[in-house]
Amino acid sequence: MTTQPPVPPAPGQPGAGAVPTCYRHPDRETYVRCQRCERSICPDCMRDAAVGHQCVECVQQGNKTVRQAKAVFGGRAVTVPRVTWTLLALNVLAYLAEIADQQAVITGFAMHSAAVGLLGEWWRLLTGAFLHAPPGGGLGFTHILFNMWALYAIGPELERRLGHLRFAVLYLLSALGGSVAVYLLGIAAVGASGAIYGLFGALFVVSKRLGYDPRGVVWLIAINVALTFFIGLSWQAHLGGLVVGAATAAAFAYAPEKNRDVVQWAAAAGIFIVLMLAVLVLPPFAAIAG
């Protein structure tokens, strides 16, 4: 009677005398198993878990079911305020462009009611909010320094509360609101003050919504409004930015939980449409007075 020699177990499979090997690397011996699927894993395939280790595939599968952290009022949670840093960089780059060729930049991109209304140069409504008083002017470097300090001081906090995209929309709508107010009630202006005042208004709304004491924000707004008239700055841009920023923040902060994203973006789109219609339909006050 003849007998067949025993067949050795396949690598990685249980059996008498079998040496366990990694399921992804059969040539590597290991005595560690994944805590979820219990397959053998080598050090290259181990991922730390709450208890023991998991394999790469189980970790990837688990990540698909993990709920993404969100900002307080929607959007993904913010760890680095990238929009704030980007806006700071854009303002500084625009100022450097002014230093390089002040005449061309101011002439072609500053907010001016006649250029927008008569020539249809709509880009000025936004580009003017990234320019500042040129060096050697009445305000000199203090104009951009104050605005960028304010953006640096309160921008990151609002961005963390609102999320990247909502904060960017808040800033741009506030800037646009300031320019529209200049178009309707003034003549010309440069500066990010409309957007900054929009952030002031948003900070007040967010503080109220979260139950914080808003008196510090009220004092901040009051002091800056007083400086606006004392120094002789563009009160139109400040007022327009403040109102639009507060309205946009209210739409974001007070949107109901149900269909919150839809309500927020519909409100933001509505504010944008109202601003555009104001420029299209309403004549500038200077033209009426003239």
Q: Which two three-digit tokens encode residue 2? A: 């003849």
Q: Which two three-digit tokens encode residue 211? A: 């139950």
Residue where the block lists tokens 């970790």: 59
Q: Extract the runs of DSSP E, i.e. beta strands, from 184-274.
A: 188-189
Residues 223-252 as b or e (16 or more Cβ within 10 Å = b)? ebbeebeeeebbbbbbbbbbbbbbbbbbbb
Residue numbers annotated as active site:
193, 238
83: number of Cβ within 10 Å: 23
Task: Name beta bridge partners: 33.
Answer: 40
Cα–Cα distance, 151 to 192 (Å, whole number):
9
Cα–Cα distance, 248 to 111 (Å, whole number):
22
DSSP string of 132-147?
Answer: -PPTTSSSTTHHHHHH
